[in-house]
């Protein structure tokens, strides 16, 4: 029965608009009838009725579409809302919760794995993260690039800073790296903002992979991300 809820949503509004359209159409027809014509007023009445129905349907569709697209979500509603958004987008996802997390979703965006999570002690924030690792071959490739590894690392840090993306592990030699974004849930938080944050972290991961070498593997981890704590290392930035 819950699957048919959409059928009854706005039923009263539809009925009222239908009745108003009918009244307006009959009123126009009556005015024409007073002039002793019948064929023309009937056609005007039917045409007016259909026109009013069409205008009402278009306006209502625009309102519903706008509300759905910009539906606001609170911190308490984030877990279920984000799950619904991911499902509706048809993205592959799995939940890997830990004790101090409200949720921890691993989702695939264009083949890249993005971790979206919410901490119990900081529910007003969402954390978007992507991880990757480098081996000796990757570091050798970087060292042979023009300008050497220092030039590559400096360029990567500058570009991530411009993108307003935080990072850890961006230092030579490269080992375990992460890019992340911390997002404050405000009264304006909605589906559009969520997927924009996902895309920003995905773009940052692609940037790291392209600059440091295509053979570096993006991966997920089962351990809690350390970037959610205050950064202490010199090569760590926060967004």
pLDDT digits (tens, 9 = 90+) for 118-172: 999 999 999 999 999 888 888 888 888 888 899 999 999 999 999 999 999 999 9
pLDDT of 220 strictly over 60: no
pLDDT of 38 strictly over 60: no
- Ranking 31-35, 47-51, 111-115, 134-138 by mean pLDDT, the lowest is 31-35
Instruction: At 168, give phi and psi (nearest 5°).
Output: -135, 150
pLDDT given for residue 1 in this prediction: 45
Mean pLDDT for the stretch of residues 112-117:
95
pLDDT of 72 strictly over 50: yes
Give kind and range of the element (H or E) at residue 5: helix 5-8
- Ranking 26-40, 43-57, 91-105, 112-126 by mean pLDDT, the lowest is 26-40
Helix, strand, or coil (residue 192): helix
Q: What is the mean pLDDT of the chain?
A: 77
C-beta of residue 204 within 8 angstroms of C-beta of residue 165: yes
CA dihedral (63, 65, 68, 69) positive or negative: negative
Largest CA distance in the chain: 94
Q: What's this model's pTM, rounded to 2 decimal places?
A: 0.63
CA dihedral (51, 53, 56, 58) positive or negative: negative
Separation CA 43–CA 206 (nearest Å): 61
The burial class, CB within 10 Å (0-12 / 13-18 / 19+), for 11 is exposed
pLDDT of 93 strictly over 60: yes
Closest among 155, 164, 167 to 197, alpha carbons compared: 164
How many Cβ atoms from other residues are within 10 Å of residue 195's Cβ? 16
Closest among 138, 225, 148 to 181, alpha carbons compared: 225
């Amino acid at each position: 029965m819950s699957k048919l809820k959409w059928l009854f949503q706005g039923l009263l509004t539809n009925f009222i608009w239908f009745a108003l359209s009918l009244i307006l159409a009959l009123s126009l027809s009556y005015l024409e009838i007073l002039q002793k014509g019948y064929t023309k007023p009937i056609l005007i009445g039917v045409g007016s009725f259909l026109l009013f129905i069409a205008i009402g349907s278009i306006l209502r569709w625009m309102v519903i579409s706008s509300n759905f697209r910009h539906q606001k979500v609170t911190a308490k509603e984030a877990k279920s809302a984000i799950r619904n958004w991911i499902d509706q987008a048809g993205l592959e996802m799995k939940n890997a919760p830990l004790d101090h997390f409200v949720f921890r979703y691993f989702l695939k965006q264009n083949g890249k794995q993005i971790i979206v999570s919410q901490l119990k002690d900081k529910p007003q924030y969402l954390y978007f993260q992507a991880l990757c690792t480098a081996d000796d071959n990757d570091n050798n490739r970087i060292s042979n690039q023009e300008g050497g590894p220092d030039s590559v690392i400096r360029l990567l840090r500058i570009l991530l800073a411009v993108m307003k993306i935080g990072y850890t592990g961006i230092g030579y030699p490269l080992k375990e790296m992460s890019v992340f974004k911390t997002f404050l849930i405000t009264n304006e938080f909605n589906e559009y903002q969520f997927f924009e944050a996902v895309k920003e972290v995905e773009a940052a991961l692609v940037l790291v992979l392209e600059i440091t070498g295509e053979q570096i593997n993006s991966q997920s981890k089962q351990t809690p991300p350390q970037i959610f704590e205050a950064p202490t290392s010199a090569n760590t930035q926060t967004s």
